Amino acid sequence: MDFEIVEVNEKSDLKDFVNFPYDLYRGHPIWVPPLKPMAKKEFDRDKNGYFKHADAVFFQATNGKMVGRIAAFVNHNYLKHYDDKVGFFGSFECIDDEEVAKGLVDASARFLKGRGLDFIRGPYNFTSQSTGLLIEGFDQPQTVLSPYNPPYYRGLLEGAGLDKIMDLNAYYGDVLENYKFPERFQRNYDLLSKRHGVKVRTIDMSNIEEDVKKIVEVGNKASAGNWGFIPVDDPEIGEIVKDFKLLADPDAVFIMEKGERPVGYAVALPDVNIIIKKLNGRLFPFGIFRLKFGFKRLREYRLFALGLIPEFQNKALDTLLYFRVFDNLYKKNARLEASWIVESNKKMNQALVNMNFKLVKKFRVYQAEIDKLLGGS
């Protein structure tokens, strides 16, 4: 196929870039069309706080019409944390054509090489830690804030010279099935809470900015040693607050405190994708009402994140957070997906297996040495 790779920078030229997935996946039974205002904002350098610490470029492949897209970016927060000369790609969408995919990946690699970087890793997107390429579980629902892609993408990226660096797991379980002994959970909760002088409360939506700051503070400390962790900084907090106002169920977001000090957190989000899928990307004029009034009827949730600061880890205190999540969702007759669990985190993977959660999806993160990928060019 004859095609060209074009760099897209102006807002006026981003329309096709943003709209391409809506055409590519049109009528797909699993893929959930993002709400158009959120999709546009994701790539808006003025409105998305992510670009405060990232230099990005957008490429699209065209042959008279658009046939693929990709973003490449330098995450300066990541480089401050690791200093390992890794750059990133994401927002990859492509027709089933190896040459087009290779062209997009190579363009991204050349951009990163020009910024002094030695490795390319991805896919990572500009939304709330939306990471990895789906490689297993294509028949499973696309849950809130998680990616979806066709099976052939794996062959495209591996054919372009990218290799696996890490897999991320997603588990699914029925809270009613796994929470059979609430009285025993409550006794253990009371004992552990008293022993360590901690309490777990739900998020205060009337003080959401301060509580989100606490969650980010704990999350940065709790995940600092995790593979691939990228710290969240102040410009992103405003975006998280907006996401929480739109997506969060205050009965499913928890903060663990010792006195006034935050030491742990858990975030379970209602799977609003169930509603969003029916909106076909349109929030207005009536989508906002469907989202608002359908929210309370949702019974599917995603355990988005859970963590403790290092000095409170390995004390069984994570069970307090699991208890509160399970206890509140039990009352809602809910079902829960837990993702993304890094495959090297043996403890958390085993904990979910022990709670009778089933592995239902795998997401893969790829990496390549740029000079090797480009053949030394």
| Domain 173-363 CATH (choose: 3.40.50.2000, 3.40.630.30, 1.10.10.10, 3.20.20.60) | 3.40.630.30
Within 13 Å and on the Cβ side, how many CA atoms surround 65?
6
- Of residues 280 and 90, the one with the higher pLDDT is 90
Q: Is the pLDDT of residue 331 over 90?
A: no
Residue matched to tokens 């809470």: 193
Quote the CA–CA distance of 127 and 341 in Å, as a whole number.
Answer: 18
What does the pLDDT read at residue 286? Answer: 44
Q: Is the pLDDT of residue 9 over 90?
A: no
Report which of 101, 167, 163 is spatially closest to residue 368, judged by C-alpha positions.
163
What pLDDT sits at residue 292?
58
Q: Are 57 and 111 in contact (CB under 8 A)?
A: yes
290 has pLDDT over 60: no
Locate 105 and state its tokens: 């990946």
pLDDT at 289 over 70: no
CA dihedral 39, 42, 47, 52 (to 10 degrees): 180
Q: Which pLDDT score, from 0 to 100, does residue 71 have?
A: 96
Residues 252-278: tens digit of each pLDDT? 999 999 999 999 999 999 998 888 887
153 vs 136: CA distance, rounded Å? 12
Q: Which of 42-56, 227-241, 336-350 has the lowest mean pLDDT?
A: 227-241
- Residues in a beta bridge with 173: 336
Q: Would you say residue 371 has pLDDT above 60?
A: yes
Average pLDDT over residues 81-109: 96
- Phi and psi, residue 235, nearest 5°: -60, -25
Q: Which residues contact 273 (CB under 8 A, 6 or more apart)?
A: 32, 141, 142, 143, 144
Q: Write down the mean pLDDT value for the chain.
A: 89
Given a contact cutoff of 8 angstroms between Cβ atoms, the answer to whether 373 and 120 are in contact is yes
Q: How far apart are CA 79 and CA 76, in angstroms?
A: 5
Flag whether pLDDT at 333 surpasses 90: no
* Run of H or E residues at 8: strand 4-8
Query: Hunting for tokens 């509140």 — which residue is that?
Result: 328
**What's the pLDDT at 178?**
66
> What is the pLDDT at residue 282?
58
CA distances from 221 to 214, 218, 231, 278, 307 (A): 11, 5, 9, 38, 9
Question: 314: Cβ–Cβ under 8 A, 6 or more apart, which residues?
Answer: none
Average pLDDT over residues 180-190: 73
The domains of the chain are located at 4-167+364-373, 173-363
Query: Nearest-CA neighbor of 70 among 102, 118, 41?
Result: 102
pLDDT (tens digit per residue) in 109-153: 999 999 999 999 999 988 655 789 999 999 999 998 899 999 999
CATH number of 4-167+364-373: 3.40.630.30
Whole-angstrom Cα Rg for the chain: 21
Residues, the chain, total?
377
Same fold, 4-167+364-373 and 173-363: yes
Question: Does residue 182 surpass a pLDDT of 80?
Answer: no
209-244 pLDDT, tens digit per residue, is 999 999 999 999 998 888 888 888 777 788 788 888
Q: Cα–Cα distance between 186 and 277 in angstroms, integer?
A: 37
Of the chain, the percentage scoring pLDDT greater than 90 comes to 58
Q: Is residue 290 a contact partner of residue 275, using CB atoms and an 8 Å limit?
A: yes
DSSP three-state, residue 230: coil
Tell me the angle at which helices 152-159 and 98-114 cross, rounded to the nearest 10 degrees.
Answer: 50
Residue 287: band (very low, low, confident or very high) from pLDDT cuts 50, 70, 90: very low
